[in-house]
A and B are shown apart, each in its own frame.
Chain A
C-alpha cells in the first residue's frame, strides 16, 4: 500500500494530537505550531488530491486491525481529497487574515486555548470529510460543535457568551436528533459502516419492511444536520455567533463549520441511504422549500440590518438556503451545483469577513453603517476586497458567484416545471435583494465621510498601510485570487466535482 494512502489518517491524527500538545504551549509557540501543522496538512491534502486524480478510484483505509464490517474505516476519493485541500486553504487564509485580531481580542493566557480549538475543529472537519463510519461521524460532529462553541466564546463579552449559549442549545438539539436517527438506522440495519449500511438498506427497502422507521430516521438525520448548518428557520443562532465573535472565528464558522455538516449530509445521501431512496422519500422537497424560504428571508433580514457583520451573517443564511435548494432539486446536477456553491461561498464569505474587519478597524472599531461611511478610502485594500466579494455575491460574471448561479439554473431547467419555476423566480428575487444590500454597502464605503466624522476618525485610526499589516493584505490577496480563479476557471472544478460525486456512493 502506498505511503500517500496514509495521508488522511495522518492529517486527522496530526491535528488531533497537536490540539492536545498546544495546551502546554505559550501564545507564540502555539501560533507557530498551528501554522506549521496547518501548512503540513495542506501540503499532504494537495499531494493526496493529485494522487487521487491520477488513480481515479476511491480507496478505503482500515483503522486499527479489525476489518470491515466490524472495524472503523476512512475512505478517500477525488471529492474528499479536494474538499480537504480547500477547507485547509480557507482555514489558513482566515487565520492569517484575522491573526492580529486574535492577538488583540483574546487574553494572553487564553490564546493557546484558541489554537487548541482550531486544531480540534480541523481534525473534526477532516474526519467528517473522510470517515466511512456513521458513529465516528457523530463523535466528530460533537467535537465540531464544542470546538465551534469555543471559537465563538473565546472573546469573553456578554454578547459572545449569549451567542455561544444559544449555539450550544440549538446545536445540541441537532446532535440529539442526529443521534436518534443514527440509532434507528443501526437498529434497522445492524451496521455502522456506511457502505455496509447501504447494502442493508437496499435490502430492507426492497423488502418493504421497516419503511416508516427508515423514513423517520432519514427525516431526523436530515433535520438534525439542517439545524446545525443553519437552514432557515433554524438559523437564529447564526447572526449572533458570526456577528460578535472574533473575525477568524466568524470566517471559519461561516465558511467551514456549516459546510462540514452539509458535506456529511451529502455523504449520508449517497453512501448510507442511497440517493434514489432519498428522492423517493420526498425529503428533498422539504429541503427545497426551506431552501427557497432561506434564500429570500435571509436577504430580507440582511437588508434590515444596521451592523455590517450581522448583515454578512444574514447573507450566509441566504447562501445556505441556496445550497439546500440545490440539494432539494433532487438531481446529480443539483448536488454538483450545491458543492460548487460550498466552495464559492466559503471563499467569498471569508473574504467578506476579513475585508469587513479591515473596514471597521479604519472606522474606530465601530461596526455600524453610519460610522463606516468612506472607510473604503481609509483602508483601500479592504475596500477593494469587499467590493470584489460583493460583486461575487451579487453574481457579476468573472467571479465565482455567477458560476454557481448558472449551475443552479442549469440544474433547475433539467427538472420538472414544478421545481424549475420557483427556483428561477427565487434565484432572480434573491439576486436582486443581494444587490440591494451589498451594493448599498459598497456605495456607502466609497461615499466621502463628512468633515466632523473624518476628524474624529483621523484621531483614532489612521489609514491602514500595507507595510504595517503585511499578513492581512497577503491573506486578502490570496482569497481574492481564489475567488477569481473559481470564477474564471470553473470548468475543471465542475468536472472534478462531477467525477468525484460519481465515485462517492
Chain B
C-alpha cells in the first residue's frame, strides 16, 4: 500500500502552525489586526490539506513507524473518518472566524489561536487513525491540548473546570487502556500485509488492533480460552472509559463545568467536536475492533443502552432547570450525545445510521447554538437565559438562526434533527431488546419535549414580548458580519441537510456496506 503523506502533512501542519504561533513573541505582531490576518491565513492553509485527504478516493493509508513490535502508528482514511474529519473542518473554520471577533474582548489571544490550531491537528489525527493505539495516542493528546482552551480566562473557576476536565478525561482514557491491554492478546494479526516504509522500500509485517469493519478480534480464541466474561468486562470498560469524553452518566460532570467557562468559540469546538472524539473512539472500538456480533444480546449492550437512556433524560431535565445559558447548552450536549450512544448501543443498521447522522447534525446545531450564545454574551454581557427578552427586534437574523437550529435539535421538519431522530427511534424499535426497544423511543420523545422547553423560550421571549425591557432600552445592534456569518452558515446547513439528507445517508450506508454488521 502506498503511503499517502498528505495525511501526515494535514495533521502536522496545524500542530506546527500552532506551536509557531505560541512561541513567537508578542512584539512580532505589530498590531492586533496583523495577528488576526496571519492567523486567518494559517487557518485557511491548514484547512486545505485535510480537504485534499478527504476528497482523495484511493490509497489512503500511512504507516509512520512501529511503536512496539506489531503495533505501528498507522493512519487509514475510510468513509467514517471522512465524515468526522468533514465536521471537524467545518466547525474549526466557522468557530475560528467567529473567534476573531469574540476574542477581542479577551486577553492572551495568541495563546488561544495557537492551542486552537494544535487541537485541530490532533483531532484530524484522531479521525484518520487506523488502529487502536494510534487512536489512543491522539485521544490523550486531544485532552492535553484542549485543556488550555478550557482554562483560557485564567479565573479560579476556569482553572478548576480545566482540572476537572483533565482528571475525568484521563480516568476515562485509563479505563479504556485497561481494555486495550486485555484485548491485545486476542487481536488478529494481519499477516503479509505490505506496507511502504519511509525509505521507500516495502515490508510485510503483522499488524495488530487495526480497524477492520466487523471487528479485528479473534473471537474463536476468545471463546476457546474461556475468558469471554473478562473480554466483555474489558469492552465495557472501554465503552465507559471513552464515554467519559462523550459525557455518559455517571461521568458527565465535567461537561457542565468546562463548557460555560471556556470562551464561546472554544465551547462550540468542545461541544461540537471534541466530545465527538469520544464517540468516534467508541464506534471504532465496538464496530471496528471488537465487532458488533460479540456484544449483541449481552449484558454490555443492555447496560450501555440503559446508561444512555438515563443520561438522555437526566441531561434534558437538568438543562430545563438551568438558568445560565451556556450551562444549559452544556447539559443539552450531555443529553444529545446520549442519543448518539443509544443508537450505537442498539447494534443495528438503522440505529447506526441515526447515530452518525446525529453526530453530524448535532455538531452543526450545537456549534450554532454556542456561537449565537457567544454573540449574545459578547454584545450584551449577560449570561442568564432570561436576560435576552425583547432582543429579537434588534437582532432578527441572529435570533432567526437560533430558532432554526433549535427546531433542528427538537426534531421538527424540515430541519435536520427530525431525520436523525427518526432513524434512531426506528432503530431502537427494530433492535429486539426487551424493554429498551420501546423505552428508547419514549425517552427520545420526552427529551424532545424537554428540548423544546429549554430552547424555545429564549426565542419566544426575544421575539414576542415587547414591553420596556433593558434590551430594548439599550442600543444593541446585530452582531458584526464576521460574527454573524458562521451562525447563518450553520443554520443554513441545518436546513439543507434536513431537506436533502440523502447524500449523507448514502455515505453512511457505504460505511455499513463495508461489512460493519
Which of A398, A409, A443, A494 contacts B137, CB < 8 Å? Answer: A398
CB of A394 within 8 A of CB of B170, answer yes
Contacts A396-B141, A447-B154, A448-B154 given; does A439 touch B170 at CB 8 Å: yes
Kindly list chain A residues whose C-beta atoms are within 8 Å of the C-beta of B181: 406, 409-410, 412-413, 424
Kindly list chain B residues whose C-beta atoms are within 8 Å of the C-beta of A410: 181, 184
Q: Does B493 contact A (CB under 8 A)?
A: no
Kindly list chain B residues whose C-beta atoms are within 8 Å of the C-beta of A397: 67, 133, 136-137, 140
Q: Closest CB of chain A to B25's CB: distance in Å?
A: 11
| Alpha-carbon separation in the docked complex, A447 to B181 (Å) | 35
Q: Closest CB of chain B to A244's CB: distance in Å?
A: 29
CB of A490 within 8 A of CB of B67, answer yes
Q: Does A428 contact B (CB under 8 A)?
A: yes
- Which residues of chain B (123-174) have a CB below 8 Å from chain A? 133, 136-137, 140-141, 144, 151, 154, 159, 162-163, 166-167, 170-171, 174
Which of A403, A413, A443, A488 contacts B159, CB < 8 Å? Answer: A443
Kindly list chain A residues whose C-beta atoms are within 8 Å of the C-beta of B167: 432, 435-436, 439
- Which residues of chain A (482-505) have a CB below 8 Å from chain B? 488-491, 494-495
Kindly list chain B residues whose C-beta atoms are within 8 Å of the C-beta of A431: 174, 177
Kindly list chain B residues whose C-beta atoms are within 8 Å of the C-beta of A432: 167, 170-171, 174
| Alpha-carbon separation in the docked complex, A163 to B109 (Å) | 48
Q: Does A440 contact B (CB under 8 A)?
A: yes
Q: Does B178 contact A (CB under 8 A)?
A: yes
Kindly list chain B residues whose C-beta atoms are within 8 Å of the C-beta of A495: 69
Q: Closest CB of chain A to B129's CB: distance in Å?
A: 12
CB of A440 within 8 A of CB of B163, answer yes
Bitwise interface map of A from 386 to 417 toward B, beta carbon under 8 Å scored 1, else 0: 00000100111110000101100110110000
- Which residues of chain A (420-468) have a CB below 8 Å from chain B? 424, 427-428, 431-432, 435-436, 439-440, 443, 447-448
CB of B163 within 8 A of CB of A443, answer yes
CB of A435 within 8 A of CB of B170, answer yes
CB of B69 within 8 A of CB of A491, answer yes
| Alpha-carbon separation in the docked complex, A333 to B295 (Å) | 32
Kindly list chain B residues whose C-beta atoms are within 8 Å of the C-beta of A398: 67, 137
Q: Closest CB of chain B to A232's CB: distance in Å?
A: 22
| Alpha-carbon separation in the docked complex, A412 to B178 (Å) | 12
Which residue of B has the minimal Cβ distance to A448? B154
Kindly list chain B residues whose C-beta atoms are within 8 Å of the C-beta of A448: 154
| Alpha-carbon separation in the docked complex, A396 to B145 (Å) | 13
Q: Does B44 contact A (CB under 8 A)?
A: no
- Which residues of chain A (348-381) have a CB below 8 Å from chain B? none
Bitwise interface map of B from 291 to 310 toward A, beta carbon under 8 Å scored 1, else 0: 00000000000000000000
| Alpha-carbon separation in the docked complex, A225 to B355 (Å) | 58
Q: Does B66 contact A (CB under 8 A)?
A: yes
CB of A406 within 8 A of CB of B68, answer yes
CB of A488 within 8 A of CB of B67, answer yes
Contacts A403-B68, A413-B185, A436-B167 given; does A396 touch B174 at CB 8 Å: no
CB of B68 within 8 A of CB of A494, answer yes
Kindly list chain A residues whose C-beta atoms are within 8 Å of the C-beta of B170: 394, 432, 435, 439
Kindly list chain B residues whose C-beta atoms are within 8 Å of the C-beta of A490: 67-68
Q: Does B239 contact A (CB under 8 A)?
A: no
Q: Closest CB of chain B to A468's CB: distance in Å?
A: 18
CB of A396 within 8 A of CB of B140, answer yes
Kindly list chain A residues whose C-beta atoms are within 8 Å of the C-beta of B171: 432
Contacts A428-B175, A490-B67 given; does A443 touch B162 at CB 8 Å: yes
Which residue of A has the minimal Cβ distance to B162? A443
- Which residues of chain B (80-103) have a CB below 8 Å from chain A? none
| Alpha-carbon separation in the docked complex, A301 to B67 (Å) | 33
Which residue of B has the minimal Cβ distance to A431? B174
Which residue of A has the minimal Cβ distance to B140? A396
Q: Does B500 contact A (CB under 8 A)?
A: no
| Alpha-carbon separation in the docked complex, A403 to B66 (Å) | 12
CB of B137 within 8 A of CB of A488, answer no
Q: Closest CB of chain B to A10's CB: distance in Å?
A: 35
Q: Closest CB of chain A to B185's CB: distance in Å?
A: 6
Kindly list chain A residues whose C-beta atoms are within 8 Å of the C-beta of B154: 447-448
Kindly list chain A residues whose C-beta atoms are within 8 Å of the C-beta of B517: none
Kindly list chain B residues whose C-beta atoms are within 8 Å of the C-beta of A427: 178
CB of A428 within 8 A of CB of B178, answer yes
Q: Closest CB of chain B to A377's CB: distance in Å?
A: 11
Q: Tell which of A394, A403, A427, A435 has the most Cβ of chain B within 10 Å.
A: A435
Q: Closest CB of chain B to A489's CB: distance in Å?
A: 8
| Alpha-carbon separation in the docked complex, A8 to B151 (Å) | 54
Which of A394, A424, A447 contacts B178, CB < 8 Å? Answer: A424
| Alpha-carbon separation in the docked complex, A276 to B333 (Å) | 57
| Alpha-carbon separation in the docked complex, A491 to B69 (Å) | 6
Kindly list chain A residues whose C-beta atoms are within 8 Å of the C-beta of B174: 395, 428, 431-432, 435
Q: Tell which of A406, A427, A440, A489 has the most Cβ of chain B within 10 Å.
A: A406
Kindly list chain B residues whose C-beta atoms are within 8 Å of the C-beta of A405: 177
| Alpha-carbon separation in the docked complex, A495 to B69 (Å) | 10
Q: Does B251 contact A (CB under 8 A)?
A: no
Q: Closest CB of chain B to A438's CB: distance in Å?
A: 10
Q: Does B5 contact A (CB under 8 A)?
A: no
Q: Tell which of B133, B170, B171 has the most Cβ of chain A within 10 Å.
A: B170
| Alpha-carbon separation in the docked complex, A410 to B171 (Å) | 20
Contacts A397-B140, A428-B175, A432-B174 given; does A491 touch B66 at CB 8 Å: yes
Kindly list chain A residues whose C-beta atoms are within 8 Å of the C-beta of B140: 396-397
Which residue of B has the minimal Cβ distance to A495? B69
Kindly list chain A residues whose C-beta atoms are within 8 Å of the C-beta of B66: 491
Kindly list chain B residues whose C-beta atoms are within 8 Å of the C-beta of A436: 167
Which residue of A has the minimal Cβ distance to B141? A396
Q: Closest CB of chain B to A437's CB: distance in Å?
A: 11
Interface residues of A (CB under 8 A from B): 391, 394-398, 403, 405-406, 409-410, 412-413, 424, 427-428, 431-432, 435-436, 439-440, 443, 447-448, 488-491, 494-495
27 residue pairs of the A-B complex, CB under 8 angstroms, read: A391-B144, A396-B140, A396-B141, A397-B133, A403-B67, A403-B68, A410-B181, A412-B181, A413-B182, A413-B185, A424-B178, A424-B182, A428-B178, A431-B177, A432-B167, A435-B166, A435-B167, A435-B170, A436-B167, A443-B159, A443-B166, A447-B154, A488-B67, A489-B65, A491-B69, A494-B68, A495-B69
| Known A413-B185, A443-B166, A488-B65; further 5 A-B contacts with Cβ < 8 A | A395-B177, A396-B141, A397-B133, A424-B181, A428-B178
Interface residues of B (CB under 8 A from A): 65-69, 133, 136-137, 140-141, 144, 151, 154, 159, 162-163, 166-167, 170-171, 174-175, 177-178, 181-182, 184-185
Closest 4 CB pairs of A and B: A409-B181, A397-B137, A491-B69, A435-B170
